Amino acid sequence: MTRPQFILIDKPFGISTYDIIRILKPFYPGQKIGHAGTLDPFATGLVLVGIGSMTKKLTGLLKLDKSYTALIGFGTETDTLDRLGAIEYESKVVPSLKALTDTISGMNGELTLQVPKYSAIKHRGKPLYKYARENKSVEIPRKVMKIHDSFVHSYSHGMLKISYKVSSGTYMRSLARELGRRMGTYATILELRRTEIGDYKVDDAILIEDFVGEGEVAKQS
């Protein structure tokens, strides 16, 4: 059976982007496999995968804008800045909808923010998340991130559902932390879904288990 060389995958919760590559490798023996942008294990949504000669196409896709929908909870901030981490800070401050929407609107454009300490950015050749797991302190870099557009879907009891269109290299966890801090409280991403990469949409993606079978995905969970 001829298998596609370029695949839009809808990544499930709980596995990494590299797990997707490991799952696919046995189905493409001897061929290169790559992706156009990682997703954290807690996040779901669109991953672009190239096989063989199509891996050359991936370089041009890495810099495409991306769109996400997130559920952000106010009142706590974890060490990973997502719901899988340990709570580091807590606050009883719950932002009002008016203050929140004004602040969100004011954040559109370029921001220079600290990246999450649990990220793959390297310090002296070693990913930051490895230092964090070893409880070692290193200088966490800041980088320019850009919000092209944002849209509030709903807000109730300190829970915000919001969509963002952002530049490549923008960390949604950093945006959530910054939003919380600007509101005089703390924030953590509880759910995150990548819906678009450039013109590619998650609605056109396939579930990885539909492609390889549920058993192969279960081995990575």
The conformation of residue 73, written as its DSSP 8-state character, comes to E
Single out the catalytic residue among 40, 65, 82, 102: 40
Instruction: Enumerate the H helices of the chain as residue ranges.
Output: 17-24, 55-61, 97-106, 128-133, 172-182, 208-212, 214-218
CA distances from 57 to 50, 90, 92 (A): 7, 44, 48
Q: Is 79 a catalytic residue?
A: no
Residue 128 has, within 13 A of its CA and on its CB side, a CA count of 15
Structure-block tokens of residue 167: 């530049």
CA distance linking residue 13 with residue 24, whole number of Å: 17
Distance between CA atoms of residues 61 and 197, nearest Å? 8
C-alpha–C-alpha distance, residues 59 and 207, integer Å? 23
Q: DSSP string of 181-215?
A: HHTTS-EEEEEEEEEEETTEEGGG-EEHHHHH-HH
Query: Do 10 and 46 meet the contact criterion of CB atoms below 8 Å apart?
Result: yes
The set of catalytic residues is 40
